[in-house]
Amino acid sequence: MKYRSPRSGLLWFDRRFFASEDRLLLALRGRVGRIPECVEVGDDVVLQEFVEGRTLRDGRFGIGRISARHVRQLGQLFGEMAAIKHGELSSKLLREENSLPPVRDGDTPGFLGGLIDFTQGEVYEKNRGEFGSLFDRLGVSATSMNGLRERATGLTRRPFSLVHGDLHRRNLIVDSRGDLWFIDWELAMIGDPLYDLATHLHLMNYPECDALRVKEAWRGAVEPVRPDAVDGWERDLPHLLAFKQAQSVYTDVIRTAVGLLVGAGALALVAGAATGPGPGRLRLARAARKVQRVLAVAKDALGLRGVPTRREIREAYGEWVRGKVGRRR
């Protein structure tokens, strides 16, 4: 078993819909298969089963590929979640504090609009004092998500259901029998079921052949359970994918900066940037490659005029880190 307690000082880049992952898992018992078991052992103390196995990130499962067996099990999960309708889970599971107003069942434009508002307000604006100069240098502004807002207004209405919200390789565990388990439900919410498919496709970066198989599995599992939940899915999926691409820019720009600044590594980075080849230069180069790749993917979604060169990105991060280290001394 594992007992989870929150750490202080973490950066939150996604809305928290449910107050407790453990209590959500308790509520899903018998309705969603291959999720961690939870046991309540005392007042406000819930232990969560540790699922033994290897994540799909493990190289032995193939880079970017997914087996037919795991596609079927993933489809089963999508179907089970689609069957959990808006309002079926107890309101006691919800977080009391919420930075954004609730969205009515089926209001997919409002759902995506709320996610855009959260990214704009809670990620970009709230962190602008610390990271604003970086965003400016990279060409990301307060109006960069306006195009996505317009696209959100045209989404097809679909009935809401439970969505996991974070189905990436580290949260997909293969046990000793080869079955797929689904962990880390902290970002679960009630919303547009198509959002889960978009999030999964974005995070997994499948080859096109596997992406097609997963799309077909999603539709094949969701349509029999909630026929209206697949309305307009092919037309709307690119809009939700565009949001995930844009969201990654905001989160990765900040996470990359924080990673460069951690501990003694920042001093090595500053020294390397000033004196030539060394650990600082290498860290900056890796950071620049990552950020440039994310910006290139989201170029159209954010309406960027162009993507900075790696040299421009290295210089932007180098100056930002030097400024932060200089204030600490």
Q: Could you report the per-residue pLDDT of 196-216, keeping only the tens digit for each? A: 999 999 999 999 999 999 999
* Domain covering 21-119+155-240 assigned CATH 3.40.50.2020 in the classification: no
Query: Taking all residues of the chain, what is their mean pLDDT, rounded to a whole number?
Result: 89
The residue-averaged pLDDT of 245-273 equals 78
Domain ranges of the chain: 21-119+155-240, 242-328
Vertex 231 angle, CA 187 and 166, to 5°: 15
* pLDDT, position 267: 54
Is the pTM for the entire model greater than 0.85?
Answer: yes
Confidence of residue 45 (pLDDT cuts 50, 70, 90): confident
Q: Are 235 and 154 in contact (CB under 8 A)?
A: no
* Residue 121 neighbours by CB distance under 10 Å: 12
What are the phi and psi torsion angles at 180 (to 5°)? -95, 130
The answer to whether residue 131 scores a pLDDT higher than 50 is yes
* pLDDT, position 324: 84
* Strands (DSSP E) found in 168-232: 172-174, 180-182, 189-191
